[in-house]
Amino acid sequence: MNIMETSLKFLFVSVLAVFTMSCGEQYPPTNLANNHIIPKPASVVATHGTFVLDKDAVIFYDAGNEDLKKNAEYLAGLLRPSTGFVVETKATSRNPRDGIYLTAGVDKDSLLGEGGYELVISEKQVKIASPYPDGVFYGIQTVRQLLPADIEFHNDGTREKWFLPTGTIRDWPEYQYRGAMLDVSRHFFGVETVKRFIDYLSLFKFNALHLHLSDDQGWRIEIESWPNLTRHGGSTEVGGGKGGYYTKDDYKAIVEYAAGHHITIIPEIDMPGHTNAALASYPELNCDGKARELYTGTKVGFSTLCTDKEIVYEFVDDVVREISELTPGPWFHIGGDESHSTEQDDYVRFINRVREIVNTYGKKVIGWDEIAHADINSEDVVQFWAREKNALEGVKKGAGVIMSPSSHAYMDMKYDSTTVLGLSWAGLTEVDDAYNWDPVALVDGIEKIDILGVEAPLWTETIETLDDIEYMTFPRLPGYAEIGWTATENRFWEDYKVRLGKQKERFEAMDVNYYKSPLVPWQDEEDIFIEEQKEGEVK
């Protein structure tokens, strides 16, 4: 350690000492513009003051607004364990001028748009304003990232004050849909693991979680009218483990938890292929009337529902009906990928009938890009993962597109050749590869108006634990969030990798098992402070 670094570390400790003095003391100037928020906000203006959060903290919200009340309680739930403060929530009919204030009192202007928010931090008040409940929630996540990383775990009682830089942030999402997918079929993950995954998504302003609930290796959701789907079809997984499934109450708990984090659950029942678990559970779904053996391998394309049998459509109707009754979101994902054992004419006829069934229960269809061969229209969404030709065909038929290019967005792809987990059939995907793509520039002929948003899938052939999930999603997940939220012209890898590196202590405070990419300059908060001293940002 050289003399300069020693002096700066001493200064760091000294400043912390100043921070713990009484409210009458002067606090060092701050610079809100020097933040490491992910996704990157649209507009940041710093005023170089300090807001102090202490034991008298109160969160106010507009009286009579139940959505704001829920957001206030959510924020209080974040702050109480880490600060040790009581953190009351109070309804108010006027601007309280101090404390934290959540309000719908801002115009629904075209700039903010749906999901947008305005965050104004002064020495006396933190105000998060949006006409939309999700906008206020996203503003809360920004405040969360502006606070020290210690906000992510239980406080040991030594920190009496918490500090925020003053200024104004105006922010809004670039795309309506910002999702991730978790495959719970190849390996099953329980309710608490899914909730943990939702926690990670909410921090970075995702708004959709696509659950891949059925595949060759396992059926993961209770269907009362076809009970053997879970009793038998849910009894195993890749490698021959015991598998598992969600009861209806389990699934309701996931949906409710996601809604509390402003995330929509999108259920997927993959068909007519990827259906061996169902074919093993009910012989009548097979053309020969014989049940298939349970499958614990990883091959694809060998299974298909018998598209000529009426009982198959009765089965699909029951499954879609029961899941739709539990799912308040607008979408139902029908899969449709890699149906190599289904004749093309049979495939098209099947998808057309399933579309009608889904629509009957008030849901809109999402399917992998192969469904573009069917008679889809502007009510449907094609999820591009492999074939540009399919995605373009979907657009020609008026469908929207979710961009999930396997070469960039599949979180189960290895980082490099030494990565123990994951696959590599779509290539190696280091953190820069995951970040450096533009949904609009990806496929010639697909314009921004055609794109609903982006989704990063995590397939789980090699993923068995929460630690595995974390390692393959972090640190790529925040980058996908930024692609979906931040305008392309405001995204730059050289800037992003620095902000990502400054998330190090937050990831560790959250106990995330992340991949320490050599492309990212990982930094502790103390190192960040020293760097700012060297750059003359804090005087």
Place of tokens 């029908």: 334
The single residue of 160, 284, 338, 526 carrying the catalytic annotation is 338
> DSSP H helical segments within 376-430, as ranges?
388-396, 406-409
Q: What is the DSSP letter of 63?
A: T
Burial 270-284 (b: 16+ CB within 10 A, else e): bbbbbbbbbbbbbee
User: What is the Cα–Cα distance from 523 to 45, expressed in whole angstroms?
Assistant: 24
Q: How far apart are CA 416 and CA 419, in angstroms?
A: 6
Name the residue among 480, 443, 415, 461 with its Cα closest to residue 208: 480
Beta-carbon contacts of 88 under 8 Å, excluding residues fewer than 6 positions away, are 57, 58, 59, 76
Contact 303, 273 (CB under 8 A): yes
Distance CA 139, CA 39 (A): 12
Beta bridge partners of 383: 368, 402
Q: Which letter does DSSP use for residue 28 in this model?
A: P
| Longest CA span, the chain | 82
* Distance of alpha carbon 454 from alpha carbon 434, whole angstroms: 12
Q: 387 vs 173, 181, 443, 521, CA distance in Å?
A: 27, 19, 10, 35
**Pair 180, 150: CB distance under 8 Å:** no
Distances (CA, A) of 417 to 378, 423, 434: 41, 10, 16
In order, the DSSP letters of 326-356 are H--SSEEE------TTS-HHHHHHHHHHHHH
**Helix residue ranges per DSSP H, 344-387:** 344-360
Residue found by looking up tokens 């280091």 in the block? 430
Contacts of residue 108, Cβ cutoff 8 Å, sequence gap at least 6: 131
Q: Which residues is 102 bridged to in the sheet? A: 61, 128
d(CA 457, CA 274): 16
DSSP string, 423-488: B-TT----HHHHHS--TTTSSTT--GGGEEEEEEEE--SS--SHHHHHHHHTTHHHHHHHHHHS-G
370 is catalytic: no
Q: Cis link prior to 272 (omega < 30° from 0)?
A: yes
Q: Give the active site residues.
A: 338
